[in-house]
């Protein structure tokens, strides 16, 4: 499916008819129908069933649509990037971060960045922790943020702050008055396990010998934000890296240092391409401002 075929397909899917798609695309209706038929022939499967002159999307079309729309957005973004290069404009900074950081820390940093460079384009996306270094290295993004065990810092992922794993629990929990939370104090029946990045899971397993021996009735999730919201709903307590809590609404929550002490680092991956060089430092400075003097202080 080439770019033209993709545009015709997604337009028909979005608008629901060949007639509406033809009007939106500035094409004749027979040309749209012919293009769909040729695309189906090349693909080797039907995208639409023809019922009484109407097109009904097949199951295959619904599968193709999601990926086609993603590719269209990437191509549109690439077109804007080429336009910047064509006019020698360093007009856009592309930033990726883990889901937890993208939902909390990045919007706060973006607000500060906007004040410094109000006319600069900014893309903020989320990727899984283990994907950050790769998407930056491949040039999809200029800057990426991930949380890694401090022992896993590399030249590709260099620490901008060092911190630790903390315990998040309801503010009215019986352990909330403790200055630190030790694993031995935790009731396994109320612990919320996070099954995210393998490196962080390995860090927990190495520091807590019986971490793997969880109850069959345990609550698990692969997202820090879900775990924190479960805590807010009184479903139990959990452990996360302290950087995840930056910018989180703390109402109803308490955060305490966790023992044994498990060191983590907020790491940045930087693509040194010249186009975005002007904006890298201001965004890193914005992140530093958001973190403030306390985030990561325990691990410095």
pLDDT of amino acid 103: 92
pLDDT of residue 278: 78
Ordered by where they begin, the domains of the chain are 3-86 (1.10.10.10), 92-159+265-299 (3.40.190.10), 162-263 (3.40.190.290)
- HEC-encoded secondary structure of the chain: CCHHHHHHHHHHHHHCCHHHHHHHHCCCHHHHHHHHHHHHHHHCCCCEEEECCEEEECHHHHHHHHHHHHHHHHHHHHHHHHHHHHCCCCCEEEEEECHHHHHHHHHHHHHHHHHHCCCCEEEEEECCHHHHHHHHHCCCCCEEEEEEEHHHCCCCCEEEEEEEEEEEEECCCCCCCCCCEEHHHCCHHHEEEECCCHHHHHHHHHHCCCCCCCCCCCEEECCHHHHHHHHHCCCCEEEEEHHHHCCCCCCCEEEEEEECCCEEEEEEEECCCHHHHHHHHHHHHHHHHHHCCCCCHHHC
Report pLDDT for 110.
96
pLDDT tens, position by position, for the chain (300 residues)? Answer: 888 888 999 999 988 888 898 999 899 989 998 999 999 898 899 998 887 767 888 999 899 998 898 898 888 878 876 775 665 455 788 899 999 999 999 999 999 999 998 888 898 999 988 899 988 988 888 899 999 999 887 878 889 999 999 999 999 999 999 999 999 999 989 999 988 788 888 888 888 877 877 888 889 998 889 999 999 999 999 999 999 999 999 999 999 999 999 999 999 999 876 556 778 889 999 999 999 887 654 433
pLDDT at 51: 79
Residue 299 is predicted with a pLDDT of 38
- pLDDT confidence of residue 198: 85
């Amino acid at each position: 499916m080439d770019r033209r075929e993709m545009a015709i397909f997604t337009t028909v899917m979005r608008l629901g008819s060949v007639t509406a798609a033809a009007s939106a695309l500035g094409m004749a209706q027979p040309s749209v129908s012919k293009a769909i038929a040729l695309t189906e022939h090349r693909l080797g499967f039907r995208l639409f069933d023809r019922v009484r002159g109407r097109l009904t999307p097949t199951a295959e079309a619904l599968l193709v649509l999601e990926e086609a729309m993603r590719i269209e957005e990437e191509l549109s973004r690439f077109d804007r990037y080429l336009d910047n290069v064509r006019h020698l404009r360093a007009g856009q900074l592309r930033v990726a971060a883990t889901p937890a950081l993208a939902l909390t820390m990045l919007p706060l940093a973006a607000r500060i960045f906007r004040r410094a460079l109000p006319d600069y384009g900014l893309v903020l996306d989320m990727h899984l922790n283990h994907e950050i270094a790769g998407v930056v290295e491949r040039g999809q993004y200029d800057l990426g943020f991930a949380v890694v065990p401090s022992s896993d810092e590399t030249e590709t992922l260099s620490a901008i702050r060092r911190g630790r794993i903390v315990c998040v629990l309801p503010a009215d929990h019986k352990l909330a008055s403790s200055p630190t939370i030790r694993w031995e104090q935790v009731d396994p029946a109320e612990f919320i396990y996070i099954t995210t990045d393998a490196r962080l899971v390995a860090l927990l397993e190495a520091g807590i010998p019986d971490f793997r021996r969880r109850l069959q009735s345990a609550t698990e999730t692969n997202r820090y934000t879900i775990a924190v919201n479960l805590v807010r709903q009184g479903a139990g307590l959990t452990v996360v890296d302290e950087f995840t809590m930056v910018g989180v609404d703390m109402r109803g929550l308490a955060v305490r240092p966790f023992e044994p002490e498990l060191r983590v680092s907020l790491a940045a991956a930087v693509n040194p391409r010249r186009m975005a060089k002007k904006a890298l430092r201001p965004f890193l400075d914005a992140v530093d401002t958001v973190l403030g003097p306390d985030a990561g202080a325990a691990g410095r």
